[in-house]
Amino acid sequence: MKSTVPCLQKGDLVGVVALSSLVEPEKLGEAVAFLDELGLRYIVGDTIHAKHEYLAGSDEIRLADFHEMVKNPEVKAIFCVKGGYGSARIADKIDYALIEENPKIFWGFSDVTYLHCAINEYANMVTFHGPMLMSANKMDDLSKKMFLQLFSPMEIQYTEAISPLTTIAGGITRGEMIGGNLYRLVSTLGTKFEVRTEGRILLIEDVNETIPVIDSMLQHLKQARKFEQLAGVVIGSFTQTGSDEEALHSLMKEYFTDLGIPVVAGFKFGHETTNIAIPLGTEAILDAQEKVLKILPGVHV
């Protein structure tokens, strides 16, 4: 398992950055207002106001902004405010030893999946798959409540009390939680940041991808032999596919029913109003019979 990171306390200073697409700074108010609600102080990175074509500043600016937040001993957490595209462009230039020497909360999802894979492996550190701060006004109360896991160690238990779940394949398993956005996971293949799935529970989610495209991406992972030693699969939100849930579940059954591992769909992880934040790199138990996912805390006191 990866190393957990120190928890937050009220009044702590956190960093706000954009490591991917261009930000509209006028919308930052919603993000920082939410940090105020959490009782946190914040500093805004250079990337929030930077612009380079469609990116939040050049690769050099985004890399430097991230490194500055990592190095600053006062900054206890780094929140990415927006996804889109761009994090992969800086992944091979990041100083992972620096991250390992300065462990702190790193939070985001979608495009940030690429950096979750990189930091989990090369800094041996837990990271957090959770909603971007720019969408604070669209988060429901439960999604906002999940930020509280950063203030004290708490085991996350996801049951049908949160959302209806569908067992794609039965069984019970234990393993390290990894994954995130399906498109970004596929884009790691053939790189030094290639997602490692052996003995792990894989989370997948996506938005604006049709069933044939999702099929293509799953086929890519299958032919890259990423399903052969999986411990289990957690299927998050696949929104705006242009098809119904039945078509998605039918596709998932084609890929996962013969693997002999538990697979459950319907988790609210991803591009939806309910986006439950979870740590990646900690141990989890997936029980497909009882439809329960338990995840160990990502922080320590």
Measure the CA–CA gap between 284 and 97, rounded to whole angstroms. 26
- Coarse DSSP helix, strand, coil percentages of the chain, rounded to the nearest 5 percent: 35, 25, 40
Q: How many CB atoms lie within 10 A of CB 162?
A: 15
Q: Please identify which of the residues 110, 135, 143, 237 carries the catalytic annotation.
A: 110
Can you tell me which residue has the tokens 């596919």?
241
Q: How many CB atoms lie within 10 A of CB 223?
A: 10
Q: Is 110 a catalytic residue?
A: yes
Pairing of strands 292-295, 156-158: antiparallel
Measure the CA–CA gap between 182 and 188, rounded to whole angstroms. 10
- For residue 188, the surrounding DSSP H or E stretch is none
16, 67, 146, 191, 225 from 269: Cα distances, Å: 22, 28, 12, 25, 24
Residue 217: which residues within 8 A CB-CB, separation 6 or more?
182, 183, 186, 206, 209
Q: Please identify which of the residues 121, 205, 209, 272 carries the catalytic annotation.
A: 205
Can you tell me which residue has the tokens 């009044």?
11
- How many Cα neighbours within 13 Å face the side chain of 188? 27
Q: Please identify which of the residues 116, 143, 176, 271 carries the catalytic annotation.
A: 271
Measure the CA–CA gap between 285 and 253, rounded to whole angstroms. 21
Q: Which of 153, 93, 149, 102 is nearest to 123 (CA)?
A: 102
Measure the CA–CA gap between 202 and 265, rounded to whole angstroms. 12
Q: Is 228 a catalytic residue?
A: no
**Structure-block tokens of residue 75:** 């900054």
Q: Is 194 a catalytic residue?
A: no
User: Catalytic residue numbers?
Assistant: 110, 205, 271
